[in-house]
Amino acid sequence: MPDHDENSLINSIKPLCNWEKSLRFPLGIGDDAAVRVCQKGEQLVYTGDTLVENIDFRLDWVSLDSVGEKAIQVNASDCAAMGAVPDSAIVQIVFPKKSNPENDIQLLYCGIQKSCKRLDIPVLGGDLSAGPCWMISVTMTGRAGKSDRLLYRNGAMPGDKVWVTGTPGCSGAGLALLQEYSLIDLVPRGYSDLLNAHISPMARIAEGRALASEKAVHSMIDVSDGIAKESVSIARASNCAIVLQLPHSLYLPELVHFCQLKHKQPDHFALYGGEDYELLFTAHADFDPASIRVAASCIGTVVSGSGNVILKNDEGVETAITQDWFDHLRV
């Protein structure tokens, strides 16, 4: 057998999978399938996401370890949106033949390992294949206890307030900076928070768990494609309407400064920028997320309707949200 082949590469990746034999995971990477032993009544959720080179990332902007780190976090964000805890991951990688497979995949897995250690989950297996460009596809399992509550998109009710965690819009602005300056080293100083929001997002696992445990919280979704699209998704799933009014306090000063220099509006990045991986949720009007130590901003109200979303400005003028968000079918 040659020194450098697929089997030896898989063996070299094993130490980077964050797996140790346990009652839950008696078998990890290396067999035809992984094994997860479940306790009676435990709830499992499943999600998957794919990052494609030159669509979701560019290697002249970010390193492969950053891509690996992000690939895990974006899947963990889906678990957070359900109120589940990430449990394990399966990773499928397509690499370009012109690359140096062993070194490049090792680097990618260093980023995967970093996120897995932070989330305390193992990679249990996957697949490697040569192809036209880099594609990193992650399938993730999340878990919740028998009595734990999972949250869905379809629970919003008229009278609910609409909330979002964190400071949305930063990732979209970070992407705009990379698009303008081409190389990350050319981006002016003072925008590290915007760049980090785009390159290294962190899933809101603790916040998702805390919100799901509150019966006053009725629906939730993660902000992967911008507040506009996620609000439409909740409104349609819940057969209601949403009126958004984004407060100025929602935005990071760094984002406001960038928008002033570029004559742009922070609202645009928050509504349509995407990849913030914050949590958008609706809750009873009397509920305050601060009561459970979740930092969030109220950005709207749920009203009667049939899936439409309205944006209200400071003067009270209302305009319908248009489909201006990223869509893979329109790339």
Percent of the chain with pLDDT over 90: 75
For the cut 70, the answer to whether the pLDDT of residue 62 exceeds it is yes
Contact between 83 and 40 (Cβ < 8 Å): no
For the cut 70, the answer to whether the pLDDT of residue 213 exceeds it is yes
Region 12-34: mean pLDDT is 80
Region 199-205: mean pLDDT is 97
Region 72-101: mean pLDDT is 93
CA end-to-end distance (rounded Å), the chain: 44
Tell me the Ramachandran region of residue 307: left when phi exceeds 0, alpha when psi lies from -120 to 50, beta otherwise.
left
29 pLDDT band, cuts 50/70/90, is confident
- What is the distance between the alpha carbons of residues 113 and 117, in angstroms, rounded to a whole number? 6
Q: To the nearest whole number, what is the mean pLDDT of the chain?
A: 91
Region 28-43: mean pLDDT is 77
- What is the distance between the alpha carbons of residues 153 and 238, in angstroms, rounded to a whole number? 7
For the cut 60, the answer to whether the pLDDT of residue 330 exceeds it is no
Domain chopping of the chain, boundaries: 6-144, 153-330
- What is the distance between the alpha carbons of residues 238 and 302, in angstroms, rounded to a whole number? 10
Q: Give the number of other CB atoms < 10 A from CB of residue 183.
A: 9
Region 317-329: mean pLDDT is 72
Region 9-24: mean pLDDT is 86
The model's pTM? 0.89
pLDDT digits (tens, 9 = 90+) for 271-296: 999 999 999 999 999 999 999 999 99
Residue-level pLDDT at 31: 60
User: 170: helix, coil or strand?
Assistant: helix
User: 145: helix, coil or strand?
Assistant: coil
DSSP class of residue 307 equals S
- For residue 205 the two structure tokens come to 């696992």
Residue-level pLDDT at 1: 32
Put the strands of the sheet holding 135-144 in their side by side order: 43-52, 135-144, 85-96, 123-131
DSSP class of residue 150 equals P
- What is the distance between the alpha carbons of residues 108 and 114, in angstroms, rounded to a whole number? 10
- For residue 102 the two structure tokens come to 């062993």
Give Cα 236 to chain centroid, integer Å: 21
DSSP class of residue 53 equals B
- What is the distance between the alpha carbons of residues 276 and 256, in angstroms, rounded to a whole number? 16
Contact between 197 and 269 (Cβ < 8 Å): no
Task: Tell me the CB-side half-sphere exposure of residue 67, using CA atoms within 13 A.
Answer: 27
DSSP class of residue 241 equals E
For the cut 70, the answer to whether the pLDDT of residue 324 exceeds it is no
Which stretch of 3-12, 236-245, 303-312 has the lowest confidence by average pLDDT?
A: 3-12
pLDDT digits (tens, 9 = 90+) for 96-145: 987 678 899 999 999 999 999 999 999 999 999 999 999 999 999 999 99
For the cut 50, the answer to whether the pLDDT of residue 327 exceeds it is yes
User: What's the CATH class of domain 153-330?
Assistant: alpha beta
Region 82-105: mean pLDDT is 91
Please give the residue that has the higher pLDDT: either 217 or 5. 217
For the cut 70, the answer to whether the pLDDT of residue 331 exceeds it is no
- What is the distance between the alpha carbons of residues 65 and 86, in angstroms, rounded to a whole number? 20
Residue-level pLDDT at 2: 42
User: What's the CATH class of domain 6-144?
Assistant: alpha beta
